[in-house]
Amino acid sequence: MFRGEPAHAGVLPGPGPGPDPERIWTFQTSGQIASSPAVNGDALFIGSFDGSLYALDAASGERRWTFGTSDQISSSPAYANGIVYVGGIDGVFYAVDSVTGAERWRFATGDAIAASPMIANGTVYIGSWDGGLYALDAEDGAERWRYPTGAEVYATAALADGVVYAVAVDGSFLSLDAATGQLRWTVEIESSVNSSPAVSGENIYLGTGGGDVVALNTADGSERWRFTTSGAVNSSPAVVDGSVYIGSDDGGLYALDAQTGDLRWTYETGAGIFSSPVVVDSVVYVGSLDGILYAVDTRTGDLVWSVSVGAGGVYGSPAVVDGVVYVGSLDGTIVALGDPR
């Protein structure tokens, strides 16, 4: 799923490719791609602004099936137990058979769905522009609970220790019981928020439209620290080994101390970063609106490699599986990058 496991720390199993990757394959859709790919075994799933959910062969890039909706897909799909889950701008949340592409069930919300699904313990959690955060049965789509946040939900919820953490676009941050949807606490971020939270230890991390990276206490939402960039932070954080990695509209990829928020290093790309970084071993991967995918050393902030992947810029996040990096771009292409064959 988007950001990896339910806590959304952005750490993927990998391994990543070597220092000089090449394009293994390219697949062209007819719409922009803001969706991040989900890879399960030999299959890759990704959505496009052409309204389609695509299933591709991860090794060759050949299309296996296409599932059509009535509007754009910017949500990133998630896979579990033979089902692919994705939301549509048409306001419908879809569950699709991963092998055949046939619809298993659908759930209609009151407005567009741009958030990505989070799956845990047989439940799918999804936010909608209707202001609702929904918990649905993963097998049949039955509603288990919904919580009215009061504003559109763009960000993807995270879960840790039986608690769901979610944020609405107006900055209302919520801590909810994962089983019942009962509110534990809520705080106001005092800024618009598109960034999805990540949970690690006793902290929750996310970015704000005001340009800040914020760490909150999981117990009560109190602020631990705040780091300010010079652009909106719509990227979602990756958290590993005591560091937080996150991009900003100012073009910087930042590495921060997870406990203090102190800056460890900055890597400057050629344009703003909306893509959410992922970490594999000692490398952080992130796309930029300059159309380049960057691989940066997590310890030093030095560039390991960079590859131009799309003329329209990279909006979504890469997936890194078995030595291959998969990513889509706003020019509608999906590329697989790996070691020369």
Rounded to whole angstroms, how far apart are CA atoms 191 and 169? 8
* Annotated domain spans of the chain: 22-338
Report whether pLDDT(18) > 80.
yes
pLDDT for 231-289, tens place per residue? 999 999 999 999 999 999 999 999 999 999 999 999 999 999 999 999 999 999 999 99
DSSP H helical ranges for 79-224: none
Give the rounded distance of the alpha carbon of 264 from its chain centre: 23
pLDDT for 87-143, tens place per residue? 999 999 999 999 999 999 999 999 999 999 999 999 999 999 999 999 999 999 999
Question: What is the CATH architecture of 22-338?
Answer: 7 Propeller (2.130)
Both tokens assigned to 107: 């759930």
Radius of gyration of the chain (CA): 18
Q: What is the pLDDT of residue 28?
A: 97
CB 252 within 8 A of CB 229: yes
- Tokens 């329209």 belong to which residue? 312
pLDDT for 104-115, tens place per residue? 999 999 999 999
Report whether pLDDT(341) > 80.
no
Which are the contacts of 245, defined by CB distance < 8 A and separation ≥ 6?
Answer: 10, 237, 238, 239, 253, 254, 255, 256, 277, 279, 284, 286, 298
pLDDT for 145-174, tens place per residue? 999 999 999 999 999 999 999 999 999 999
Q: What is the pLDDT of residue 117?
A: 98
Report whether pLDDT(309) > 80.
yes
Percent of the chain with pLDDT over 70: 100
Rounded to whole angstroms, how far apart are CA atoms 321 and 336? 10
* DSSP strand pairing (118-120 vs 123-127): antiparallel
Neighbours of 110 (CB within 10 A): 10
- DSSP code of 234? -
259-279 b/e with 16+ CB inside 10 Å = b? eebeebbebebeebbbbbbbb
Q: Is 17 helix (H, G, I), strand (E, B) or coil?
A: coil
